[in-house]
Amino acid sequence: MEPFELIINHDERVYPPDEDSYLMIKSINTKDYRNALEIGVGSGIISLNLAKKLDQVFACDINPFALRLSKKNATLNSIKNLYLFSSNLFSSIKKESFFDLIVFNPPYLPVETPPKNFLDLSYNGGLDGGEYIRMFLNNFGSFLSHNGQAYLLQSSLYPLENTTKYLTDHNFEYNIVNSLKLDFETLYVLEIRFI
Q: How many CB atoms lie within 10 A of CB 193?
A: 16
Query: Counting every residue, how long is the chain?
Result: 195
* 190 alpha-carbon distance from chain centroid: 11
What is d(CA 98, CA 109) in angstroms, rounded to the nearest whole number?
Answer: 29
- Strand order from edge to edge, sheet including 99-104: 82-86, 56-61, 35-39, 99-104, 144-155, 186-194, 172-181
If 0-12 CB within 10 Å is exposed, 13-18 middle and 19+ buried, where does residue 112 land?
exposed
- pLDDT attached to residue 5: 81
Angle, to 10 degrees, between the axis of helix 131-139 and the axis of helix 160-169? 20
R_g of the chain computed on alpha carbons: 15
For the chain, the structural domain boundaries read 34-194
User: Considering only CA atoms, which of 165, 147, 129 is closest in space to residue 29?
Assistant: 147
pLDDT tens, residue by residue, 69-125: 999 999 999 999 999 999 999 999 999 999 999 999 999 999 999 999 999 999 999
Q: Tens digit of pLDDT for each residue in 42-54?
A: 999 999 999 999 9
Of all residues in the chain, the percent with pLDDT exceeding 70 is 98
CATH of domain 34-194: 3.40.50.150
Q: Is 27 exposed, middle or buried (0-12, 13-18, 19+ CB in 10 A)?
A: buried
DSSP 55: S
Decide: pTM greater than 0.75.
yes
